[in-house]
Amino acid sequence: MSKAAVCCTVIRAKVVTALLALFSLALYSGMPRVTAVVLDNENNTVCTVVEEHSEVDTIYFFLDAALILALPLLVTTILFGAIFLKKQCDNSSSLTAARQRRLSEITKVLLVIVIIDVVLKAPSFINKARLVILAEHYGKQYDMPGILLQQIFQLVSYLSVCAHVLCYIAFSRNFRKTARQLLHCT
C-alpha cells in the first residue's frame, strides 16, 4: 500500500472537511453583526459596514485575504516546487511514461486552478482593499459604485468553485471515471 493510500483515507478527509467547516463558521459568525442596512444621502437603501465596527471589517478583510488568496497561493507555490524537484529527481531514475504523464496531468490541473483562482478572486480583493482604504483614510464608509462592484466581483469569485469542477472534468480521466461511477452512468 502506498504512502498516499495510508495517509489519505475517507475518514481523515471527512474530519478535515468538518474541521474546516467549523473553523469557517467560527471565524465568520461575527460578520453579520458588522454590517447593516442604512439610508444614504439620497435615500437609497444600502447594506454597508456599521461605522462603529469598521475596524472589525478591516480585520475580516485582512483575514479573508490571507486565508482565501495568500495562503492558497503559498501552498500551491510550494507544491509546484515539490513537483518540479520530484520531476528533476525522477528524470535521472527509471520513471515510467504513464507515471510521468500522470504527474504532468496533475501539474496542469493545479496550474489551471491557481490561475483561475487568481483571475476570478483578485478583483474582489482589490476592490475591497480600495473600500477599506477609503474608509480608513477618508472616513467614507460606503461608496455606491464600489459596493456594487464588490457584490459583482464577489459573485465572480464564487465562480471559481464552479471552474474547479470544470477543470477536473476537462483534465482528469480519474475524476471523470469516478464521477460516472458515482452517477451510475457506466
Taking only the tens of pLDDT, the chain with its 186 residues reads: 566 666 777 788 888 889 988 988 888 777 777 777 777 777 777 777 777 777 887 888 888 888 888 888 888 888 888 877 877 776 655 567 777 777 777 788 888 888 888 898 889 888 888 888 887 777 665 667 877 888 888 888 888 888 888 888 888 788 888 888 888 765
Taking alpha carbons only, the member of 109, 114, 87, 88 closest to residue 99 is 87
Q: Is residue 88 part of a domain?
A: yes
Instruction: Give me the pLDDT at residue 27, please.
Output: 80
What is the total count of domains within the chain? 1
Answer yes or no: are the C-beta atoms of 92 and 76 closer than 8 Å: no
Instruction: Give me the pLDDT at residue 3, please.
Output: 65
Instruction: Give me the pLDDT at residue 164, please.
Output: 84
The rounded distance, in Å, linking the Cα atoms of 113 and 166 is 10
Instruction: Give me the pLDDT at residue 94, please.
Output: 56
Q: Is residue 24 part of a domain?
A: no
Give start and end residues of each alpha helix (H) in the chain.
Answer: 3-7, 10-28, 31-34, 54-64, 71-92, 97-138, 144-171, 173-182
| Residue numbers of the domain that contains 165 | 53-182
Instruction: Give me the pLDDT at residue 5, please.
Output: 63
Q: Is residue 105 part of a domain?
A: yes
Q: Is residue 127 part of a domain?
A: yes
Q: Which amino acid is at 73?
A: L
Q: Is residue 28 part of a domain?
A: no
Q: Is residue 103 part of a domain?
A: yes
CA 113 to chain centroid, in Å, comes to 10
Q: Is residue 135 part of a domain?
A: yes
Torsion 126-127-131-137 (CA) sign: positive
Q: Is residue 11 part of a domain?
A: no
Q: Which residues contact 136 (CB under 8 A, 6 or more apart)?
A: 54, 58
Instruction: Give me the pLDDT at residue 160, please.
Output: 84
